Structure 1
């Protein structure tokens, strides 16, 4: 754990992936190299991690319909604005509009909403979850997909077999848009993804570990 982004292995690896992907697709440079996915159980005070993220990183806030999600999202919006960190709201486009978030993250079942959201919010970052090895609906309206689980993961992905490095690289090569890796991503596992073609990294526990106060 370190408070200096230049000495943080997870951040360095994410930046290297982003630079390599941007060399092929220049638009990738506008995307956050690292996404911190929040979880009500595993990261109940997500703003305490967000305040330590480096400028240019991103947070994907997932409130899962809880009564306190609007208050938490507003708190995160204040923190991320001060830090120069982008904030996406998971699934809830209305909440994203209310708090003036930088975009939304759609679950795989809702990817077909991307086109309508893009029409209403042309400047938003719109990402989508991807688990299946199949065509991505509304891919032209998405900025990126989050492919998971890369490695053995906890939470909702605990019962899914990890894709592994070779399969991640194969899928990234076939996908028509920038792709992040999620699932079991830590400072220790991330360097193995250097040649996969991913545009960046996404994590829950890995980010908490990398950016918690010493």
Structure 2
């Protein structure tokens, strides 16, 4: 329990620091759900400190789509920002604040009506994708992979200095994804936001 409390404090402090870069409309950090890797996302969300938002990724799984309604309700009660992965219809149905897009679906973002009042974020995985993404109407970008990660989908880490350089020239807030922990989240937060799938399991 003491360890979880200490982890929560570190993430809360990092999120507060990151807020200087992410602005008033977005949280300092994001927890990304993954129904295959973390079946009970709500248990983690219930323990997230202030300043951490949620991105619900249902990957087309019916049970995860249904659970999205419960997660959005949980987040609304906690005053926590929540986005839905690649699904503006579900975002509107649940009352989520916006949509998170994978880079490969960037043209779907362009087709989303701008008058819906949704926030939009996008994942990028290389300097080339980062440059291309700047032409799209996004409120923030999530850049992977920043730190070394054991995730099977993780690429070669760009490192903190390159993330910092990218964040300094980005027209929108940049979030670090990949290898995030309670230890290095504050390092990323000196330049932008941070995001993770598994790091927040340490809160349990």
TM-score w.r.t. length of structure 1: 0.84
Residues 118/155 of structure 1: CA separation in 2 closer, same or farther (3 Å cut): farther
Residues 118/184 of structure 1: CA separation in 2 closer, same or farther (3 Å cut): farther
In 2: Cα distance, 1:131 partner to 1:90 partner: 17
- The answer to whether the Cα contact below 8 Å between 1:185 and 1:202 also exists between their aligned partners in 2 is yes
- The answer to whether the Cα contact below 8 Å between 2:126 and 2:144 also exists between their aligned partners in 1 is no
What 5-or-longer segments of structure 1 have no aligned partner?
23-27
| 3-state SS of paired residue (1:180) | strand
Residues 154/63 of structure 1: CA separation in 2 closer, same or farther (3 Å cut): farther
In 2: Cα distance, 1:166 partner to 1:67 partner: 40
- The answer to whether the Cα contact below 8 Å between 1:88 and 1:96 also exists between their aligned partners in 2 is yes
Superposition deviation, residue 13 in structure 1: 1.3
1:23-56 CA-to-partner distances (Å, cap 9, x unmatched) read: xxxxx12211110001112211101111122344
Q: CA RMSD in A?
A: 2.1
Superposition deviation, residue 4 in structure 1: 8.0
Equivalence for 1:133: 127
Equivalence for 1:77: 72
In 2: Cα distance, 1:54 partner to 1:125 partner: 22
Which residue of 157, 163, 167 corresponds with 1:162? 157
Equivalence for 1:89: 84
- The answer to whether the Cα contact below 8 Å between 1:147 and 1:181 also exists between their aligned partners in 2 is yes
| 3-state SS of paired residue (1:95) | helix
Kindly report which structure 2 residues correspond to 1:9-48, keeping only aligned pairs within 5 A, or say none: 9-19=10-20, 21=21, 28-48=23-43
| 3-state SS of paired residue (1:109) | helix
Is 1:106 matched up with 2:101? Answer: yes
Superposition deviation, residue 141 in structure 1: 1.7
Superposition deviation, residue 111 in structure 1: 2.0
In 2: Cα distance, 1:93 partner to 1:145 partner: 17
What 5-or-longer segments of structure 2 have no aligned partner?
none
Is 1:149 matched up with 2:145? Answer: yes
In 2: Cα distance, 1:29 partner to 1:113 partner: 26
TM-score w.r.t. length of structure 2: 0.88
Count of residue pairs the alignment pairs up: 200
Equivalence for 1:208: 201
In 2: Cα distance, 1:138 partner to 1:161 partner: 22
Is 1:193 matched up with 2:194? Answer: no
